[in-house]
Chain A
Amino acid sequence: MGKNNVEIKEKRPLGPRFKRFFKDFKNQWELQSMIIPGLIFMIIFSYIPMYGLLIAFKQYTALDTFSTAPWVGLKNFQIIMTDKFFWEAMVNTVAISLMKLAIGFIAPIILAIMIYELHDGPIKRFMQTISYLPHFLSWIVLGGMLITWFSTTGLLNQTLMAVGLMDNPQNYLLDAGKYWWIATLSDIWKEVGWGTILYLAVMSKIDPTYYEAAKIDGASRLKQIWHITIPSMKYIINLNLILAVSGIFGSNFDQTLVLMNTQNQEKAEVLSTYVYRIGMTQGDFSYATAVGLGMSIVSLILLVGAHKVTKRLNEGQSVL
């Protein structure tokens, strides 16, 4: 099959573009038809629902159908512009996500390399298991634990007081200024182990002869990591980066719901909880959809941006 294709490509005269397209398609129709179920699924569950975005431009209540709800144009978007809580949520989302991206993206790579460098055996398996564990607890459970740990009588205060670093215990979750760090670090703690799986899988595929050759050439451990391990993972790192960047606005939902309180709300509320609050609990569907649509547009811009950046890093080759 592959050979066939190559031959056709070579013979192909330079005709109009669509003619080429159809010819290619005809030659691969068996393969192309396999995409159809997936395509139908996408159309039904991803594209048709986009019609629902119309309510962002309408004054919609639960009793209306899409057609009966009155048009309001860009009014919902105008309200967004003057909504103090929206902008707070926007700043928090971007800040927390960027912090998570900056630290949380690199952390699993480092951890994966560290685990990889361990000798196979019980210690390696033990390290892997305990680093995965927090991932399997939901934020509801973890949030409860964190609330206790950060309380005035909790783990953190007791430790700090025992070593004499502070005199008066304080509740860290009430301190809005610390919330971004709490959100970032607790999320990394929860997910870092899980994030290593993909990298470890890729590393296990690296040809051991590279390392043997490097050793003979006298390369140190660090040099081996730098010149063999990391370059071999480049592709998957790029892919992960793109996925992480596009997911910036969607994250933090359940974490925020548990850790947020009246005192840290201004630094804790993120767009997804904000949309949830106005859409679900206040029944303001149109406004919530408008915010959601705005989020999606910014996500798209970020995704394209990340794609461009990684393409450049990858010597012009696209990951997607």
Chain B
Amino acid sequence: MKTIKSMFGKGLVLLLAVLMVLTGCSSDSETESAGLKKPDYKVDKETPAWKLDKRKETTTLTWYVNADWWNADFGNDFVTKQIKKDLNIDVKFITGDDTKLNALFSGGDIPDIISLFDANAPIAKKANTWALPLNELADTYDPYFHKVAVKDTLKWHELKDGKTYGYANFSNTQADYDKGVIPATTAFVIRKDVYEAIGKPEMKTPEQFQSAMTKIKEQYPKLIPFGPSEAFGEVLQDYIGVPLETKDGKFYNRNLDKDYLTWLETFNGVYQKGGISDDSFADDNTAMEEKIKSGKYASMLISGIPQKGGALQSFKTNNPGSEYIAVDGPESTVGNAPTLNQSGITGWMMNYITKKSKDPAKATQLFTYLLSEKGQTLVTYGIEGETYTVNADGKYEYKPEIKEMRTKNPDQYKKEYRFGEFFFFGHDKYNLLSEDSTIEATKQMAQWGKGKLVPHFVLEGTNPDQGTPEARSFSAIDTEWQKTVVSMVRAKSDKQFDKELKSYEKFLDENNWNKITELKTKKMEQNREKLGMK
């Protein structure tokens, strides 16, 4: 047993090596041209090509997904059965991790479609060596793609050669933010019963906040007035609206912002008076959720509210009248407006059609299909009348028997329907078409956040490239900061608070910070160019 454990620790890197060697260090696929073969059908700007392509024989596509947990089934559930029928294709999924992907590449055995999970990984940055440009694919095989693909998303993922190779799912654009399509997922929340018992005080200035926390501590000695630990870094910075960049558009170290530090000092004061529990800093995710479920925190500054939805709902259901509600919390002391963050334009998964693709026409059709309203609706709700109906408010509702199966027998539901799981090209706006997907307990919180979201696009992907000395320094600095921020909140005195801060500043100087700042500023400029802000 012990040997197995130690082998695991030591052998992680070695294991990687094993697979790489076994699959051989054969050819490289860099020298192939993007010259695309003409399709057998006549393309049309107004009609998706899957309707035009009348080939009789079924095309089999291999699709690599860089995740072990991906459900590799195809053609047996409602969603993929329909895709199979409409497009006359069969998909063979291959799943794996970076090691497997690497093996596929070095073995030259490259699948038709590849889906990655990190748009900033070196492999994605070099997509031009192994993937086909989406624009050219669309022009040749399916011009309808241009109608359904989001221009901003395509532009964002352009590589240095000015072409886009991968399409990202869950990529939110400026328009999505402006139209309020996506809900805020950050809020300061407080238990309703506690809030009322302490007289619904204002908690916007440091003094008000501190006195409210003291009141909670006095009236509810069994509760932890404020938590959990995730509150104190970026979440707080966004909540009080620390600027994203300097006035002249350079990188700004938000951790050293005066306004932010004033609030950190306030939290340190709350800590010193017993308003923040040490346990919050040792708790793992499960322990934190357990505390939310039992309402242990009187108030919280939380992000990722949908992920905590289950815990919040559980507390609400078991304690009617005490549920967490969002109220106005800490406010900037210098008059900044909140800059709440949500998923950005980078998105999540990246989907590519490779140069080795046997049938790039079909692959392009599949991309278009999944991006179109028809495809998006299919993978989320199925087909109107068959699996869902639209109610009077225009909201989508699953048929009752499907709803029942989803709650009572989720495994069977996944097998038979698989809605919301085939999300290669998914976007939040489709999920929001239904009331079913939002959790009751978080609705008021999302409501509170309306209009407070500010895109952080300009900062996305600005970390130094993996494997460079700057990346190493940056990661060290980040580790140091995680430690510093907690130490500052837990400081026993003002003197210790300052000492922790000084030591962080010194660490910055010793670890290449100037160079990282320069690099980030440069990357921000590139971002602005892509976003058309220049």
Q: Which residues of A contact B (CB under 8 A)?
A: 44-45, 48-53, 55, 59-63, 65-68, 79, 83-85, 135, 143-144, 147-148, 150-153, 170-171, 173-174, 191, 194, 243, 247, 249-254, 258, 261-263, 265-266, 272, 275-276, 278-280, 282-289, 292, 295-296
Contact = CB atoms under 8 A, between A and B. Distances in A.
B278 A65 contact: no
A243 B8 CA distance: 16
A254 B6 CA distance: 10
Contact of A61 (B3, B9, B466): B466
A301 B5 CA distance: 21
Contacts of A143: 284
B121 A292 contact: no
Interface of B: 1-3, 5-10, 12-14, 16-18, 20-22, 25, 28, 98, 101-102, 105-106, 121-123, 126, 129, 277-279, 281-284, 286-287, 466-467, 469, 471-472, 475-476, 479, 482-483, 485-487, 490
B14 A49 contact: yes
The 6 A-B pairs at the shortest CB distance, nearest first, are namely A52-B17, A250-B6, A272-B9, A253-B9, A171-B278, A283-B466
A261 B279 CA distance: 11
Given A249-B10, A250-B10, A254-B5, A63 B472 contact: no
Nearest to B13: A292
B17 A53 contact: yes
Given A83-B476, A278-B475, 4 more contacts: A48-B22, A265-B483, A275-B13, A282-B471
Contacts of B486: 262-263
A284 B277 contact: no
B472 A284 contact: yes
Contacts of A48: 18, 21-22
A86 B122 CA distance: 24
A289 B13 contact: yes
Given A276-B12, A292-B13, A135 B1 contact: yes
Given A170-B278, A171-B278, A265-B479, A250 B5 contact: yes
A78 to B, nearest CB: 11
A87 B6 CA distance: 20
A276 B278 CA distance: 28
Interface residues of B: mostly helix, strand, loop or mixed?
Answer: helix
Chain B CB within 10 A, most for which of A44, A191, A261: A261
Nearest to B485: A262
Contacts of B22: 44, 48
A289 B469 CA distance: 16
A288 B12 CA distance: 10
Contacts of A174: 278, 281-282, 490
Contact of A144 (B1, B18, B286): B286
Interface residues of A: mostly helix, strand, loop or mixed?
Answer: helix
Contact of A251 (B6, B13, B483): B6
B13 A66 contact: no
A47 B66 CA distance: 28
A286 to B, nearest CB: 7
20 contacts: A45-B18, A48-B18, A49-B21, A62-B123, A63-B129, A65-B25, A66-B21, A67-B25, A85-B476, A151-B283, A171-B281, A174-B490, A194-B1, A250-B10, A251-B2, A261-B281, A276-B12, A278-B475, A282-B471, A284-B472
Nearest to A292: B13
Contact of A283 (B12, B18, B122, B284): B122
Contacts of A150: 282
A9 B219 CA distance: 90
Contacts of A67: 25
Nearest to A264: B282
A251 B1 CA distance: 11
Contacts of A52: 13-14, 16-18, 20-21
B25 A283 contact: no
A266 B466 CA distance: 24
A261 B21 contact: no
Chain A CB within 10 A, most for which of B286, B467, B479: B467
A284 B471 contact: yes
Contacts of A147: 282-284, 287
A54 to B, nearest CB: 9
A174 B491 CA distance: 13
Contacts of B129: 63
Contacts of B476: 83-85
A249 B122 CA distance: 30
A244 to B, nearest CB: 8
A280 B466 CA distance: 11
